Structure 1
Amino acid sequence: MKHTSEFAAGKILASSQNGVGILTIDNPERKNAINAAMWRAIPEAMHWLATWGEARVIVLTGGGRRDFSAGADISEFPTVRKDTATAKVYESENSAAFAAIRNSRVPVIAAIRGICYGGGFGLAAAADLRIAAEDAAFAVPAARLGLAYPADAVQDFFHGLGPQISRKMLFTGLALGATELSTAGFLIEVTASAALDAAALSLAETIAANAPLSVQASKLALRAVATNDDDLLREAEIIGATTFDSADYAEGRAAFAEKRRPVFNGR
């Protein structure tokens, strides 16, 4: 059964079917630029997908099949980012969106084509896995606009790109292509634009077919290592221990013995 919902006046779309959730930034006439309402809606959409949508994995993509996202909607900056006080409020909403992806209990795959700039790049960097089309272009133009990129989001660039490429992109504001970012380890795959959606969906379906508790424990453990968070590591250990008493573990063993595909229910 397919579940669907709309947020931010239809500019953030969420759908889920067979355990695969799709979150679409749908503002193609502005290269999927993200306005303040859309930033606020992203955590809502992520929560909806993982709960009501019953998603075991989420694919993050841009609407219109041309661009991932040009980032924050600059036309709003004279109002929402006019000074330090307003910028703090606005950037807290940015940070909440990044965190909703980074801290999602299910894996998030960013499927990127065309422009992936600024806040759009930040959303992709917060994802667990990233696939890009050959035409994808990445940039953090903050230095060219005279503003600082949210500090908590820089950690995602650092972990995803490594220190040298992160510095190059943040200091210069220059755009880099998919090939260079693949070499840096930011992308797991580069495809033709026409093949991007199928590649992302195939990866998502593979993840969704696995035991949800096992995948969740792995994601928590990886986050704990990346952030050097002992509390998170203990949480991952607790969830990992519960897998041995789960129905899914019994199903996995039975399926292996019977030489069939397991059917996991997340319990």
Structure 2
Amino acid sequence: MAENQAALERRIAVARNDDGVVTITIDRPEKKNALTFDMWRALAAAVCAAGEDAATRAIVLRGAGRDFSAGADIGEFSELRADADTARRYEAANSAAFAAIRNAPVPTIAAISGICFGGGFGIAAACDIRIATEDALFCVPAARLGLAYPVDAMQDIVHSAGIQMARYLAYSTDRLGAREARQAGLLLEVVADLAALETRAGEIAGKIAQNAPLSVRASKAAIRAVLTNEPADRKRAEELGTLTFDSRDYGEGREAFRQKRPPRFEGR
């Protein structure tokens, strides 16, 4: 049954601080933050809205409570993902959420604890930066459920974990611990516990927020162009890079360097 807007806003909670860091929390801890069909759509909308806001400097994605996310709510599958036709509609909602995160113009940071399975892994893999607690577990359980993982989500896992690890996870459905995930390149850092995770995610987002927004956006576009090797992505990255040289922030950066003071960037 579809949830009303107020319920969805509680399940996909959005908070913003004064530095332009937006935190999006998947808030369904009683179900290990498994996402319903409506929550997938709300997540995509929340990320898109944050990215379209010129004041946003970075986006942090996290789960409420102990776990990041168990992925899609399997309880809905018998009705909403029962066959190929219904699966296509369901996976379109998944893909829209992954794409919103992947294509967000600002950096996205996944703060991961506990379970990060299936679609939850897809959300984390679509992010630019991932940090996790020591108890974090990663799994791609599609083969245990008898279904296929969407190509775009698999693309993110390959890019984030590497070809060999992506193959192993998808074929074996084995669980990967945080230390192994860091060795594979999936994680930037592993921290001790939830308190350290919140602190470190805030520190990373804060450092990003202090820098010139146009420069950061251009860098994200350039990295994407390298990963996709698509002419359109390369052109977009070049356009954003060119804009930085005509920006007020470029002048501010030079002046701050000359005066030996912290720069005050405005994103224009």
Q: Give me the TM-score of the superposition, normalised by structure 1.
A: 0.96
User: Residues 36, 220 of structure 1: CA spacing in aligned structure 2 closer, same or farther, 3 A cutoff?
Assistant: same
Identity %: 55
Asked if the contact 1:111–1:132 (Cα under 8 Å) also holds between the matched residues in 2, the reply is yes
Distance 2:54 2:255 in 1: 28
For 1:258, the equivalent position in structure 2 comes to: 259
Partner residue of 1:106?
106
Structure 2 residue aligned with 1:75: 75
Code of the aligned partner of 1:58:
I
Residue 122 of structure 1 pairs with residue 129 of structure 2: no
Match in the other structure for 1:213: 214
1:135 matches 2:135: yes
Whether the aligned pair in 2 keeps the contact of 1:224 and 1:232 (CA below 8 Å) is yes
State the match for 2:95 in structure 1.
95
Q: What is the match of residue 246 of structure 1?
A: 247
**What is the deviation of 1:51?**
3.5
**Which amino acid is the alignment partner of residue 220 of structure 2?**
K
Distance 2:61 2:50 in 1: 11
CA drift at 1:41: 0.6
Q: Distance in 2 between matches of 1:10 and 1:98?
A: 20
Partner Cα distance (2:109, 2:238) in 1: 24
1:50 positional shift? 2.5
Q: CA, structure 1 residues 52+159, in 2 after alignment: closer, same or farther (shift >3 Å)? A: closer
Counterpart of 1:230 in structure 2 is 231
Tell me what 1:23 maps to: 24
- Per the alignment, in what secondary structure is the counterpart of residue 58 of structure 1? strand
Runs of 4+ in 1 over 3 A off after TM superposition: none
Partners of 1:248 and 1:189 lie apart in 2 by 31
- The aligned residue for residue 167 of structure 1 is 167
Say if 1:259 and 1:6 are closer, same or farther in 2 by CA, change over 3 A: farther
User: Structure 1: how far apart are the matches of 2:106 and 2:76?
Assistant: 32
Q: CA deviation at 1:47?
A: 2.1
Residue 51 of structure 2: aligned partner: 50
The change in CA–CA distance for 1:162 and 1:231 in structure 2 (over 3 A counts) is same
SS in 1 for 2:61: strand
Q: Which runs of 5+ in 1 are unaligned?
A: none
8 Å Cα contact 1:118-1:141 kept in structure 2:
yes
* Cα distance change, pair 231–7 in 1 and its aligned pair in 2 (3 A): farther
Report the aligned-residue RMSD.
1.3
Once the two structures are TM-superposed, the CA of residue 42 in structure 1 deviates from its matched residue by: 1.1
SS of 2:40 mapped into structure 1: helix
Alignment partners' CA distance in 2, 1:7 and 1:239:
38
After superposition, what is the alpha-carbon deviation per residue over 1:229-261, rounded to whole angstroms, capped at 9, x for unaligned? 111111111111111110000110111011110
CA change 1:132–1:74 in 2 (3 A) is same
- Aligned 8 A contact 1:6 1:14 in 2: no
Secondary structure of 1:8's partner?
helix
Q: How many residues align?
A: 262
Is the contact made by 1:114 and 1:137 (CA closer than 8 Å) also made in structure 2? yes
Separation of aligned partners in 1, 2:52 and 2:173: 38
Quick check: 1:108–1:127 contact (8 Å CA) kept in 2? yes
> Does the aligned pair in 2 maintain the 1:7–1:13 contact within 8 Å?
no
Could you give the per-residue CA deviations for residues 16-73 of structure 1, whole angstroms, max 9, x where no partner exists? 1111110110000100000001000112101222334822100000012x00000000
What are the ranges of 5 or more consecutive residues in structure 2 without an aligned counterpart? none
Using the TM superposition, give the Cα deviation of residue 151 of structure 1 relative to its aligned residue in structure 2, in angstroms: 1.2
SS in 2 for 1:186: coil
Instruction: Give the TM-score normalised by the residue count of structure 2.
Output: 0.95
